[in-house]
Structures are given as structure tokens and as C-alpha cells.
Amino acid sequence: MKKPFILRFVGTIVLSVFMCTLAAQDGVTTQNEDYYKQFQDLENGELRSFFFFNTPNRYNQNSPYDWLDTVKVYLNSSEKTKDSISIRNYQLIESQIYYDLGNYEKSLAIARPLYDDLSNLDLDSKHIILDILDNNYAKLELYDKQIEIRRVKRELGLTDNVAFYDIYASLGQYRKAMRDYMTEEKKELKDDDYYGLAIYNNTIGNYLRQDKSTPTALSYFKKAEGLIKVFLSDVTNQHSDKEIADGRILNGIIIGNIGKCHVQLGEYEKAIPFLEESREIIRKYNKSKFSSDIIENTLALAECYLKLDDYAKATDYLSDEMNPIKLDNILKRNRIYADYYFKTGDYQNSTVYLKKNIRIRDSIDALASNIKNQQLTSVIEQDLDNSKKTMEQQKAQLEASRKDIKARDDKISLVFVSLIFTLIGFAGLVYAYLKSIKNQRLIAEQKFIIENSLVEKDSLLKEIHHRVKNNLQMVSSLLSLQTK
């Protein structure tokens, strides 16, 4: 009994070591790739744009600012030569770099003029610019503009429908977002799409976590973690570098979400390893890009150490060059600072940070509720309009299906009638054939009887002739005797 167990245990260790070695090799390869130099070695803006948008972890050795300086040089050169295609490509790259840096207003300022000239762009460029605008409007909470961009995406065939669940989540409607997300996304997933299923379970878990249903959320995150590990260790399917990089970043995000669940449950010591691992993974595979996940994990770590009375660690994470952009993160950082100063007896600084939060809340409370309601109303109206259009499309499709079914039924009826007549004709032919066979049999029997009768008559005639001949011979003999 023990031997198979030992063999399985050894096999598991060997496989784990093998996977760790592969991961380490992959990490070393990714870190050693000089994407910045490869970008510079390309010949024109079109090739550089394609390389930039299809290269994961492109800031592995050079910061986004280095890339930005280089792109601006290429952009100025293209403007001097009036190369409109290269100008557009470099502007797209520039806009994406500003987005990666978290400067959403600047990114939007560059992207918006390109959107105004959308009809003159090729489909790939349209897709890129619409994605940049969609992401920027989401970060800036301009949901009406975001809905407009998504409608354009649908009209261009870049997406099947306009989804609103992420907007509902941003407006605090987590249950509504979760229901819509489950309705929209679950039907598209396949059982072997481990990456898609990991995203699905992580998203559901995130909505539940934000809705304070922490234990249920944790179960979804654990399931997502298992799925993404299967995806990353799946050697039977070939994955591109971008897919692998996206998978590793998603793995880091999921691990961070597990840590944040433990924080909500008050399990601070259990949360710390998850949050630290998450930060390391995201920084490694999303290097130099602005990430709200890293900020949230860092704030959660600071909160954990503060709750555990490890003030040195807490201040280390609070001073970790964070630049929170989301209002919730700014308020949370100020609240943690206030708690820290209160616990250390510096009530003056604690009051300063509490007042900062009060000023921020006062400045937004007057208009935030009204604006939020207006945005929610606008989203609901657009959602209803989209649902109405979807229903009209479905109704048209059902009507077309009904007509197709009716035409198919008519064809089937025609074929059925034709088949009946064919069967009747075939039955007539069979009946005629059988009757013909019967008649032929009767004729053959009558012929046989007639032939037998003829043979019998012929035999009788021969017998008569023979007897007449014998009689005549006898008469002839008698006459011959009389004559003598």
C-alpha cells in the first residue's frame, strides 16, 4: 500500500520541479528580451505599431518614458516627411503609453482626434483606437462616452453586442453586473477554455467580493486559481507569448483577490502571502505599467500590518511610491494613514488625514449622488434601448426562421405528396407486373394443354393411319388371293 503512495509523491515532486524550472526559464527569457531595441530596429511606423501592440511585457528593460521619448522622435520625423500612416501609428502608440502610465486625460487627448477621423482608418487601427477610448472612458468614469464607443464597435462588427455589466459594477450595482455578466458570457465559454473560465470565475468572485459576499467570492477565486494553473501548465496546446503573459498577470490578479478576501474576513496573517505574491507577479509580467491592482494590494498589505501592529512594515508599504488615481484608493490610503498616526499617538497628523477625507467627501458628495444617478439612468436607458434592438433583431431572426420553417414544411409536404404518387404509381406497376406474370403463366399452362392435346391427336391419327393401312393391306391381300 505504501509503495504506490511513495511513487505518486515522488512523481508529484518531480513534476513540480519541472514546472518551476520551465517557469523560471520562461521568466529569464522574457526578462532578457530587449524589446525596446527590437522596436527601434524595425523599418517603419506600421511595423513598429504592430510590434508594440502585440508584445507582452514590453517595458521589461526600458521604462515607458524611454519608449515615449523615442516615439516622439519618430513622430516628429514622420510629421516632417508628411508620412500620414506613420503619424497615425505613432500617435496610437503614444496614446497607449500614456494610458499605461495612468495619464488617462493625455491618452484621451491624443486618441480623440484619431477617432474623429475613424472612417479613414483600417480595421486594425479602428480596433486599437476604440479599445484605447473604451479603456480611458472607463477609467475616467465617462460612461455615456464609453457606451457610444461600444455601439460603434458593434456597428463595425468588432463585437456582437454592447455589454454594460462592467459599467453597472463601476456604479456600485454589483448584483446587476453579476447577473448580466453571467447571462452574456457563460453561453460563449467552452469546457476546455481554461483561460476564459478563469476570467469568468474571477470576475464573478470580484463582484461578490465588492458586494461583501466574501466567503462565496473566495470559492470562485479558488476555482479561478485552479483553472489558470491548468492553463499555464497545459503543454498539449500551443499558446502565444501574449497569451502566456496575460495568463500570468491574471494569475497574479486572482491571487491578490484571494488575499483581499482574507483581509475582509479579518484573516490578516493569511492574507499577507497572497498579497505579496500577487504584487511580485504583476510587477514582473506587467512591468512599468500603471496597475490599480498593485495599488490595492499594497494598501491591503499596509492595512494588514497595521492591524497586526507592525508599524514599520505598514509605513514601508504606505511609502511604496504609490500614486493612486481611483478615489476609493485615495480615501483608503488617507484612512490607513489616519489609523497609523492614531495608533502611534500622533493625533494631530491623524486628524489631518481624516480631514483630507472629509474634504474629499464633501467636495464630491454634493454632486456625486446626482451625477451617479444621472449616469445610472443613462446606462439603464441605453441598456433598455440595446435590449430593445436586440429583441427586434431576435424577432426578425425568429420571423425569418419561421418563414424558413414554413418553406421547409411546404417542401416537405410537396415531397410527401410526390412520394405518395410515386408509391401509388409504383404499386400500379407492381400490380400490372404481377398480373402480367399471372397471364403469362395462364398462357403457358394453356399452351402446354394445347400442345399435349395436339400430341395426343397426332398419336391417334398415326394409330388410325396405321390401322387403315393394315386393313387396306389385308384387303389387298384378299383381293390378290381371289385373283389367283
pLDDT of amino acid 428: 86
pLDDT of amino acid 18: 38
This model's pTM is above 0.75: no
pLDDT of amino acid 371: 54
pLDDT of amino acid 377: 63
pLDDT of amino acid 404: 83
pLDDT of amino acid 145: 84
pLDDT of amino acid 459: 83
Q: Report, as ranges of residue numbers, the positions in the chain whose pLDDT lies below 50.
A: 1-30, 367
Contact indicator for 175, 211 with CB cutoff of 8 Å: yes
pLDDT of amino acid 451: 82
C-alpha cell at 215: 466567503
pLDDT of amino acid 147: 81
Question: Which of these, 296, 196, 207, lies nearest to 246 by C-alpha position?
Answer: 196
pLDDT of amino acid 374: 58
pLDDT of amino acid 303: 92
Query: Which residue type is seen at 399?
Result: E
